[in-house]
Structure 1
Amino acid sequence: MTATADALPRAGFSLAGRARVSLRIAAMLLWLMACVPLYYLWRVMRMRNPWPRRFLGGIARIVGARVTINGTAARKGAFLLSNHVSWLDIPVISGASGSAFVAHSGLADHGALKWLCDMNDTVFVARHERRSVHAQVEQVRAALSESNALTVFAEGTTSDGTSLLPFKSSLLSALDPPPPGIAIQPVWLDYGVDVASMAWVGEEPGLDNFIKILARRGPLPVTVHFLAPLDGEESASRKTMALAARERILSAMARNR
């Protein structure tokens, strides 16, 4: 992966913006080269592996994210339901919580990206293949029992960060009913006044959003709000979970605006 100058003119970046893209991609590659051997060393020694979290947290910082944590992430085995604004959400949440992610199976078609996802124990699901729903539920439950946390972006796509799309209860099939000992915790990613300049919405290609954020000048403050986990009644079904988690995030947004 290289910072291609050819890809930058169509987005209208300045010379300084192009330099920031190049420098940040170089720093990301160097950080990857430093982390990968350590990841495999820990894996050979069969030790709990901190390097996916450290790598992704480092990526967020290289890009300019300055993360503040509000609240406390639930104990081991939490299922996090988060809003979704940009690709940057993944390194921010992972760096803050050590979470793995539920991702669409289409990502598994990209070799290098799948390799990185596998290192962080990503669970790939085929949302439109109903014949495989049972197997996917078991896969998610196994990941929950093994990982520190598992995050799903419950809107099913990105939004502009100023409001929430409806949460898709179908994404919560593995939690209906919730496995014993699993905390279901809403998470709000708050990029503050900067959200409009970095959100991935509309017809913008993913590569353009990636480069746009790398070209930004200055820090990008983001607060990760770990909200109160859902209680028993709120967890009665996947539909009640989706509604309750969305309402909790909306309430936090209203209090902080």
Structure 2
Amino acid sequence: MSGALWDSRIPPTRPKPTRGGTWRALRRGIPLFLMIVVCLILLLITRGIERLLVGARRPWSSVFPRFVSRNALRLLGLRLTVTGTPMRQHGVVVANHSSWLDILVLNAEQRVFFVSKAEVANWPGVGAMAKAAGTVFITRDRSHAAEQKAIFENRLKLGHKLLFFPEGTSTDSLRVLPFKPTLFAALFDPQLRHECWVQPVTVRYIAPEGQDVRFYGWWGDMDFGVSLMDVLKAAPQGRVEVTFHDPIEVASVKDRKELARRCEVAVRSGLPPTPVEFEGA
């Protein structure tokens, strides 16, 4: 793949309107919205109880994101198939990043806390939900690197399984960009290195029949609302495949760059080669 140079501004071809699309979007969207609101309220109440009893740990409130994710995929009609098993070891999960749907897909099979860019915290609605779910927000400013590394290490020491996207951006779902080693650095802290593992995960989207193969991709300046409505209206719906690769013991790896490379190779192995017509798109 020529992922290192990929910076496409060409969105996927919009699907043609289908009969009953608006009704389908309402039938899926309204229950989805109500479920999110109810579970968000319950999560906030549970989190308040957790603060009083167990402080920063989240043994009970972390149940809600997984419940919402599994049922959101069912409401959308997006079939999920899984190969492999989420690791039981302490550590982090890394995956390729293709779509806003990744949050639902990766939350559906395991309890994880996402690591996200700081801007997401200020997004209307989404930011509030991300904060409530325990998302770790980071900036790309090197002046904050030490502070963010400390936050990262603290969450891992609490036993939280963190999930981040080493590509640093989302793609068209057809490729894997080079993994950045920055966030892997926290795992080499002396107190963490000999007890942490990293599990690479590949997320592969299969577009609905007859649609652009990049149907589920969401990248660049693409509008979230437009993408959401396209997914809500889709009939038939496509599917998504998740592959949990063998976990990597951090203590067995020389440094963060080697760890990033090994994870990238594993994640890329779960995707087919990029179609020629999209190789440089």
Please give the secondary structure, in 1, of the residue aligned with 2:271.
helix
1:120 corresponds to which residue? 133
The count of residues paired between Structure 1 and Structure 2 equals 246
Secondary structure in 1 matching 2:20: helix
What is the deviation of 1:71?
0.9
> Equivalents in 2 of 1:254, 1:11: separation in Å?
23
Does residue 1:82 correspond to 2:95, yes or no?
yes
- Greater alpha carbon shift after TM alignment, 78-87 vs 234-243: 234-243
174-183 vs 68-77, which moves further: 174-183
Code of the residue aligned with 1:175 in structure 2: it is L
Aligned to 1:164: 176
Give the Cα separation in 2 of the matches to 1:190 and 1:11.
20
Is contact 1:198–1:212 with CA below 8 Å preserved after alignment? no
In the alignment, the residues of structure 1 paired with residue 118 and residue 86 of structure 2 have an alpha-carbon distance, to the nearest angstrom, of 27
Which segments of 5 or more consecutive residues in structure 2 lack a partner in the other structure? 1-13, 51-58, 274-281
The alignment status of 1:36 with 2:40, answered yes or no, reads yes
Structure with the larger helix share: 1
Distance 1:104 1:146, change over 3 A: same
- 1:44 to 1:18, Cα distance in 2 relative to 1, 3 A: same
Corresponding position of 1:3 = none
Q: Which residue of 1 aligns with 2:110?
A: 97
Q: Secondary structure at the match of 1:198?
A: coil
Matches within 5 A, 1:165-204: 165-177=177-189, 179-192=193-206, 194=208, 195-201=213-219, 203-204=221-222
Answer whether contact 1:77 1:150 (CA < 8 A) is retained.
no
1:53 to 2:90 alignment: no
Alpha carbons of structure 1 residues 13 and 250: separation in structure 2 relative to 1, 3 Å: same
Bigger drift between 118-127 and 185-194 goes to 185-194
Unaligned runs of 5+ in 1: 1-9
- Please give the residue correspondences for 1:192-231 in structure 2 after superposition, counting only pairs within 5 Å: 192=206, 194=208, 195-201=213-219, 203-231=221-249
Residue 238 of structure 1 pairs with residue 251 of structure 2: no
Distance 2:124 2:226 in 1: 20
What residue identity is the alignment partner of 2:77? G
Percent sequence identity over matched residues?
26
CA, structure 1 residues 233+174, in 2 after alignment: closer, same or farther (shift >3 Å)? closer
Give the partner amino acid of 2:73. Answer: A
**Contact 1:52 / 1:119 at 8 angstroms: preserved in 2?**
no
Confirm or deny: 8 A CA contact 1:159 1:199 kept in the other structure: yes
Residues of 2 paired with 1:63 and 1:234: CA distance?
A: 41
For residues 203 and 11 of structure 1, do their structure 2 counterparts lie closer, same or farther at Cα, with a shift above 3 Å needed?
A: farther
RMSD of equivalent CA atoms: 2.6
Aligned position for 1:110: 123
CA distance 1:143–1:198, shift in 2 (3 Å): same
Shift of residue 38, structure 1, vs aligned partner:
3.0
- Cα distance, 1:186 vs structure 2: 0.3
**More moved, 152-161 vs 87-96:** 152-161
**1:147 CA displacement:** 5.1
Farther-moved stretch of structure 1 (71-80 vs 31-40): 31-40
Q: Is the 8 A contact 2:203 2:241 kept in 1?
A: yes
CA distance in 2, matches of 1:201, 1:28: 23
How much has 1:11 moved relative to structure 2?
7.4
- What is the match of residue 145 of structure 1? 157
Deviation at 1:31, TM superposition (A): 0.7
- SS of 2:222's equivalent in the other structure is coil
Distance 1:13 1:214 in 2: 12
Q: Is the 8 A contact 2:207 2:216 kept in 1?
A: no
Q: Is the 8 A contact 1:68 1:223 kept in 2?
A: yes
SS in 1 for 2:201: strand
1:211 deviates by 2.0
- TM value normalised by structure 1: 0.84
TM-score w.r.t. length of structure 2:
0.77
How far residue 136 of structure 1 moved from its aligned partner, in angstroms, is: 0.6
For the residue of structure 1 that corresponds to 2:175, the secondary structure is coil
